[in-house]
Amino acid sequence: MAKWGEACSAWEKRKAAFYQEQAQFNAGIDQLRENYKNHDQNAVEQYCEMVLNNSKYPEVISKDFELLYSPDSKILICEYYLLSPETLPRLREVKYVASRRELKESNITDSQAEKIYDSVIYQIVLRTIHELFEADTVAALDAVSFNGRVRFISKATGQAEEACIVSIQVKKDQFLGIDLRNVEPKTCFKMLKGIGSSKLHGITAVKAVLEIDRNDR
């Protein structure tokens, strides 16, 4: 009976600790929700981070980004690291050659890969902005500034470099008037005054419309 009593006592302590931890967690969620409603900078950034982290993408597209929100201007800056052209899958199909008992792979052409890459980048830009505005239930965002950055190996120097290849700032009321189901991504991006070279796969650096000041974070 003594051991039974000790076991029950230990279980009661674990239960009490669990409920205490649960209450603290729930209180933290409630506080985050309240702060978000009040457009608190950290709360808005944390909420938007959760929104983008919940996006479903193929493994080749990593969700690597940094956010900065200004409560005064109600502008969210999103620095998003996009995939480089080299990481885009090139495999088109695999056939089994019975006479040689082997698998034969065929790839898409360079021109096809370049076209797909540019289209993917424009789609990520529009999708990210859409997800941020769609999830903005407390009108914390008046505009989103999106900078698409790429890490790559320079063919000239062989060194690792980084460049902003697309940049755009869009007001919420303007963006919500667009039916993304019927747009051509590049045309929509250009209509919204987005900045980017005519060939994104060429990794041509552009000046960001608005960027995060990492020296004054």
pLDDT in tens, 25-54: 555 565 667 878 889 999 999 999 999 999
pLDDT of 216 strictly over 60 = no
What is the predicted pLDDT for the residue at 18? 78
pLDDT of 9 strictly over 60 = yes
* pLDDT tens column, 55-98: 999 988 989 999 999 999 999 999 999 999 989 888 888 888 88
What is the predicted pLDDT for the residue at 90? 87
Inter-residue contact 186 to 118 (CB < 8 Å): yes
Tokens encoding 207 = 């000046």
* Strands, sheet with 64-70, edge to edge from the N-terminal-most edge strand: 64-70, 75-82, 143-153, 160-171, 195-196
What percent of the residues of the chain are helix, what percent strand, and what percent coil, each to the nearest 5? Answer: 45, 25, 30
Q: Where are the alpha helices (DSSP H) in 38-175?
A: 41-53, 110-134, 172-175
Query: Using CA atoms, how far apart are residues 27 and 94, in angstroms rounded to an integer?
Result: 54
What is the predicted pLDDT for the residue at 155? 81
> Within 13 Å of residue 47, how many CA atoms lie on the same side as its CB?
29
What is the predicted pLDDT for the residue at 73? 96
If one compares 6 and 138, the residue with the highest pLDDT of the two is 138
- Backbone angle region of 203, left / alpha / beta, with phi > 0 → left and psi within -120 to 50 → alpha: left
From the centroid of its chain, how far is CA 103?
36
pLDDT of 186 strictly over 60 = yes
- Mean pLDDT, to the nearest integer, of 172-192? 96
